[in-house]
Amino acid sequence: MAAALIVRTLSGRCLLSLLVALLLPILAPSSAHAEEGSPLVLTPAAGIENGGLAFGANLRYFFMPNLAGEIDGAYGSSLCQDCRLSATTLTGNLVYEIRPIDRLSLYAALGGGAALLDLSTPRSARTTLGEFDCGAGIVVALSSAVGLSLEDRWFLPVSGSIPDASPGAFTFDRIFLGISVGF
């Protein structure tokens, strides 16, 4: 039953990410970071999560020219039906990135982790959820070490709950704008 829920949610929310991930090997004419010698990339960012403000950062380590491991953390205050919900997320992801043209990188991310949710109105509740996440983004290089990043990530809880909440109530959509710095 949980697998069917994940597949159904992924087909609706992650279709763009899955399409990008399938097309990346076809479009990849060159490596993204190995040529530049920037195996670590830090991206602090801010944006919107389910209608509320959010901020966070991710750190990527490119262990292959187009493949990176990533740690992503964020905090957001979301709007939900008659409530206020704050979420702190921490995920580990695998990121595949290509550079189809100079100064432009496209990437897809897939992984999972945990979310600490704090529901404040109409009644208080706090819980930790296991979650799956996927996303896609674009980085426009401003220099050899700095770029402007725009990404959209979807977070789907796979374990845990808050009593009396609908199963899809804690699915997050986060859009971030950030500055990527390679070092």
Tell me what percent of the residues of the chain surpass a pLDDT of 90: 52
Asked whether residue 164 carries a pLDDT value surpassing 80, the answer given is no
Asked whether residue 64 carries a pLDDT value surpassing 80, the answer given is yes
In three-state secondary structure terms, 124 is: coil
Residues 36-57: tens digit of each pLDDT:
557 999 999 999 988 889 999 9
Query: Which CATH number do you get for residue 143?
Result: 2.40.160.20
Most confident range (mean pLDDT) of 16-30, 89-103, 111-125, 163-177 is 89-103
pLDDT band, very low/low/confident/very high, at 28 (cuts 50, 70, 90):
very low
The count of structural domains within the chain is 1
> At what angle are helices 15-27 and 2-13 packed, to 10 degrees?
70
Asked whether residue 119 carries a pLDDT value surpassing 60, the answer given is yes
**Residue 94: which domain range?**
2-182
